[in-house]
Amino acid sequence: MVLGYPAEIVLLENPYAIGRDAPLRVRCLVDGRPVANQMVLWGGEQRGRTLARRGTRTGADGVAELTLDAAGRWYVKFVHMVRATERGLDYESKWAAVTFETR
């Protein structure tokens, strides 16, 4: 569901319904539009043990595919930075994150 935030991550599959090691597709939006070539990071925690942090990039449609290879608490995030147009500022950054737990 798109909520209209300046930056957001939309899950295209239900992470609770897909099997382990199946791809989870997410769409990254900035100002309501898909953002291409955006670095997306994901990782998590399982019973106090950190799960490896990974990264990938979105395609032209703003979609990235992630693999959840263990049960646990997961996060998906990105930071979109562009040169600022406002005088006195260098960059504008927009951040998005989503968290969920799988079994």
- What is residue 50's predicted lDDT score, i.e. its pLDDT? 86
Q: What is the DSSP letter of 19?
A: P
- What is residue 1's predicted lDDT score, i.e. its pLDDT? 85
- CATH tag, 7-102: 2.60.40.10
Q: 54 by DSSP, 3-state: which?
A: strand
Per-residue pLDDT reduced to its tens digit, 25-84: 999 999 999 999 999 999 999 888 888 899 999 999 999 999 998 888 999 999 999 999
Per-residue pLDDT reduced to its tens digit, 80-96: 999 998 899 899 999 99
Closest by CA position to 56, among listed 37, 71, 73, 69:
37
